[in-house]
């Protein structure tokens, strides 16, 4: 069965990476949600996709140079809709606490391995089951450090494969990604759906003991193609709606 994942929460209808976006995802019965974290100046993991707040708050604070107190004065809801005026940037621990039993929260660490000690502290403090808080990252050093520090937590390496216009070859290739994930003991790959993902690839990954997850799928035709390829999870900005379209 496909696991549907709410990208940055139910971000089509609520401001991304806010408590409202996760509340909506859980209320709509989505199996999992995804979020992005950066470290603040005072060493806490806070939800934000970008390294600064200009896009979501309309004023620019650099997250790594700002304290939680400074960042949480910003309104990161109004840009989406006046209905969400006053939404604050949540801390990772606040969202982890909301995960309902039996569901998962994919934690995308946007920075390097220096984030891992704080990640370990938060997960130990909140005390959810390890299977509920998989870690994903485009940063190889972060994935390696997370797997080492949190062996019971699933770690999926994120990649966006690019096609060379001249040779037609994808980089990294499917074979390279499978080898890399195996080498470091990761649990699977989380890939851009526009890459070379088909049934042969998913079969090879599964034979290597890896899960295959894809992002960010918003159209029914793309979701159907991924389901036919046999992927384990689909990340979408509106998973509750999309899952109904492909039933």
Query: Which positions are annotated as active-site residues?
Result: 7, 49
Minimum distance from CB of 237 to Ca ion (Å)? 11
- 235 sits near ligand G3P (criterion: CB under 6 A): yes
**Residues whose CB is less than 8 angstroms from the CB of residue 3 and which lie 6 or more positions away in sequence, other chains included:** 31, 32, 104, 213, 232, 233, 234
Helix (H, G, I), strand (E, B) or coil at 131: helix
Distance in Å, CB of 167 to ligand G3P, minimum: 26
Residues 194-223 vs ligand G3P: string with x where CB under 6 A? ---------------------xx-------
Q: Which parts of 70-129 interact with ligand G3P (CB under 6 A)?
A: 108
- C-alpha 63/C-alpha 47 separation (Å) is 10
Distance linking the first and last C-alpha atoms of the chain = 12
Binding of residue 16 to Ca ion (CB under 5 A) = no
Residue 158 C-beta: closest distance to Ca ion, Å: 8
Cβ distance 78 to 4 under 8 Å? no
CA 5, 88, 18 angle in degrees (round to 5)? 5
Is residue 232 near ligand G3P by the rule CB under 6 A?
no
Contacts to Ca ion from residues 92-151, by CB under 5 A: 108
Among 13, 16, 36, 222, binds Ca ion (CB under 5 A): 36
Cα–Cα distances in Å, from 72 out to 44, 47, 78, 187? 12, 11, 14, 34
Q: Which residues here bind ligand G3P, judged by CB under 6 A?
A: 7, 34, 36, 49, 108, 158, 190, 215-216, 235
């Amino acid at each position: 069965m496909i696991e549907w994942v709410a990208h940055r929460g139910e971000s089509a209808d609520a401001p991304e990476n806010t408590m409202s976006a996760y509340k909506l995802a859980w209320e709509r019965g989505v199996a999992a949600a995804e979020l992005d974290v950066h470290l603040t100046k005072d060493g806490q993991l806070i939800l934000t996709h970008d390294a600064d707040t200009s896009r979501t708050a309309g004023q620019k604070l650099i997250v790594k140079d700002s304290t939680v107190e400074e960042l949480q004065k910003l309104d990161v809801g109004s840009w989406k809709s006046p209905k969400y005026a006053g939404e604050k940037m949540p801390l990772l621990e606040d969202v982890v606490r909301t995960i309902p039993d039996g569901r998962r929260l994919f934690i995308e660490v946007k920075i390097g391995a220096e984030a891992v000690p704080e990640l370990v502290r938060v997960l130990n403090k909140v005390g959810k089951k390890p299977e509920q808080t998989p870690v994903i990252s485009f940063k190889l050093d972060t994935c390696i450090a997370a797997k080492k520090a949190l062996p019971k937590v699933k770690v999926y390496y994120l990649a966006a494969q690019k096609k060379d216009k001249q040779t037609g070859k994808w980089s990294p290739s499917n074979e390279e990604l499978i080898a890399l994930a195996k080498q470091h003991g990761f649990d699977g790959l989380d890939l851009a759906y526009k890459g070379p993902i088909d049934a042969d690839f998913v079969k090879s990954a599964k034979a290597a003991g890896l899960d295959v997850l894809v992002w960010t799928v918003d159209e029914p035709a793309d979701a159907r193609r991924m389901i036919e390829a046999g992927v384990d999870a689909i990340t979408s900005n509106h998973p509750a709606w999309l899952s109904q379209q492909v039933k």
